[in-house]
Structure 1
Amino acid sequence: MGITKAKSVKGSLQAEQYKSQEIKESVFLHQNKMTGETPEERWDEMRTISELNARIQNPFIENVISPPEQYTQNFTDKDWTDLAKNYAEKMGYNENQWDAYLHKNTDNPHIHLSVNRVGTEGKTTINDSFIGQKSQKVMQEISRERGWKNAQELTEDKKAEHKTALLYAMQDSTSWQEVEKKLNS
């Protein structure tokens, strides 16, 4: 299962520009209910809609979606886009503006997805209560659907692997130095 984070934020042009930085090896994946072609244009569209509701303090939700590397090492940009769309749908974002970027500059590529909580009618259409927990549950559901193991299962697999290696190294060894030598090889 991947790691996801979601939190309500005020949002800013700088945050939108951060997601698109070349140094992040950024790839624009998708936008929903927007027509802008640049981060600045998309931000302007989202800000304009969010200003329809002056009472909301944090009109945006920033999401980070980071699946385990072993499941995404052969992902294409289309696979990443499909994951972003699947996540957004399950989070209930499809009636709102959102955009997604992929960052490839880390050992574990990840998606940044920004959502406008304010709908085109000026009403807050996405409740941010427990949004982080909801995000984790959605990622668990996506992981199950894709046959991905969760963190606990991956840890158990690693422990079993280490135990097997240790038992093998202990076979026919007469000292801990021999065990250590076998483990290192």
Structure 2
Amino acid sequence: MIAKAKSISHGINDLNYITGVSANKKHPERIFHICDNNLPPGLDPSGIWNSMKLTSMSHPRLTNNLIRIEISPAPEHTKDFTPEDWKQLWLDFGEEFDKQEIKDKNGRILSPKTNIKGSKSTVWLHEESGSGIPHLHAAVCRVDEDGNTNNDRNTHLRAQRAAERIARKRGWQTAANIREVSKKQVGKDCLDVLRRMDKWSLNDYFDGLRAKGYDVMTRTDEAGILRGYVLRKGNSKFKASEIGKGRNLMASKLEGTWNKLHNTTEQHTRDDYNHYDYTVYRSGTHRTEIEHDGISYTRFIPEPVMKVFDDSFDYRETENWADLINEASYHFAVAMSFMAFLNVQTYTSGGGGSSDNELPKKRDDLEEEIARARRCAEAARAKIGVVRKRGFRR
């Protein structure tokens, strides 16, 4: 599910659009009224706008006095929806929207909680004329019925987070999930093209991607050297830096990635890398949210590894245990994985008579992961230090 939100000043134009009064659309949509909140019944767009402006008069300096919201669930999730179902979706969304409190990395509040549930609003369902795909439009007054202003800083982020939460609660795929799955597929397609090339050629690489249905847009410098490229398929665009592992599909690294894929001494690179892939759930793993340099990662770390981190940084004695575990988890599941893909070493099984190119046995996998977890814990300790809780004595 995708949601967008923005505060605007031209409220009457938006109200004309979402209620179907505007005749400017080349392909008019089917439009249905879903619900109103804190508004008298039977108002036309002008009446709604005047009512909202009247509420906003207590804040004469407020320029953008209306929040425009659009909610677009996947069609397969709403194919049997009744008007009551759409109303409930809006109510659920409004509740999650109001829960959001946007903070910066230091915990300072950038945008406090809103109260759109206690504000005047009107909600309408649109069905696209050609495809019939439904989506909700809402117009919400910036000032609630108690005279408080609904903060509009980072309102787009507030809407995205609300949509993600609603989708998770209902078991729907989120926009982030869909894009993440798409990114993985694009990366696989790129590696497949590289793997099929018997010699390195940038033109052959791009031709192979076009054969798979991608539009390729390149960026070169004044000397004609390729500096970047973007792949587009349908409505989705992906920068080279977004796909692959460890940015191995960026323009500057493409030839090196091709060499690794075709190096006979590293023919098991792909399989060995999968040994380090913690982006998918496996039995016995723990879902972990990792923050590093302003970027969030979701990884599934083996439970024995998490136990190593918990034992290394006991919350009862360590003040910054959460930061240390976060740093150790990053090294283990993100940084080490990238390094493994770029420079995978072959393994020896630890048992007699096994080939050096065989993947480790399960017991050896676990022992190797635990050993690596201890190294990552040491790296975290060395980087940010351990702060003991006041009064703690060993």
Whether these two folds match at TM > 0.5 is: yes
2:17 is matched with 18
User: Partners in 2 of 1:53 and 1:152 — Cα distance?
Assistant: 37
User: Partners in 2 of 1:15 and 1:33 — Cα distance?
Assistant: 19
2:38 is matched with 33
* Letter in structure 1 aligned against 2:157: Q
2:63 corresponds to 1:57: yes
2:162 corresponds to 1:138: yes
* Letter in structure 2 aligned against 1:149: Q
Note the C-alpha offset of 1:11: 3.3
Q: Residue deviations 1:108-163, cap 9 Å, x none? A: 21111111111235431x1111110011000000000100012354463895xx99
2:175 is matched with 151
Contact 1:36 1:42 in 2 (8 A): no
Q: 1:70 to 1:122 in 2, by over 3 A?
A: same
Structure 1 gap segments, 5+ residues each: 164-185
User: Partners in 1 of 2:144 and 2:85 — Cα distance?
Assistant: 28
Q: 1:45 to 1:152 in 2, by over 3 A?
A: closer
* Letter in structure 1 aligned against 2:7: S
Note the C-alpha offset of 1:89: 2.1
Q: 1:154 to 1:121 in 2, by over 3 A?
A: closer
2:78 corresponds to 1:67: no
1:116 is matched with 141
Q: 1:152 to 1:88 in 2, by over 3 A?
A: closer
Contact 1:36 1:45 in 2 (8 A): no
Tell me the C-alpha RMSD between the 2 structures.
2.6
Instruction: Give the count of matched residue pairs.
Output: 162
* Letter in structure 2 aligned against 1:102: L
TM-score (ref. length: structure 1): 0.77
Q: Residue deviations 1:80-122, cap 9 Å, x none? A: 1111111122222111111110101253211111111112354
Taking only the aligned residue pairs, the percentage that are identical comes to 28
Tell which has more relative contact order, 1 or 2 (C-alpha 8 A, sep 6+).
1
User: Partners in 2 of 1:137 and 1:120 — Cα distance?
Assistant: 25
Q: Residue deviations 1:1-53, cap 9 Å, x none? A: x1111011013323212111173211111111111413332222112112221
User: Partners in 2 of 1:153 and 1:57 — Cα distance?
Assistant: 36
* Letter in structure 2 aligned against 1:82: Q
SS at match of 1:30: strand
Q: 1:89 to 1:152 in 2, by over 3 A?
A: closer
Contact 2:118 2:145 in 1 (8 A): no
User: Partners in 2 of 1:130 and 1:55 — Cα distance?
Assistant: 20
Contact 2:163 2:174 in 1 (8 A): no
SS at match of 1:94: helix
* Letter in structure 1 aligned against 2:134: P
* Letter in structure 2 aligned against 1:24: E
Structure with larger Rg: 2
The one of 72, 80, 84 equivalent to 2:90 is 84
1:104 is matched with 127
Structure 2 gap segments, 5+ residues each: 22-27, 99-115, 190-394
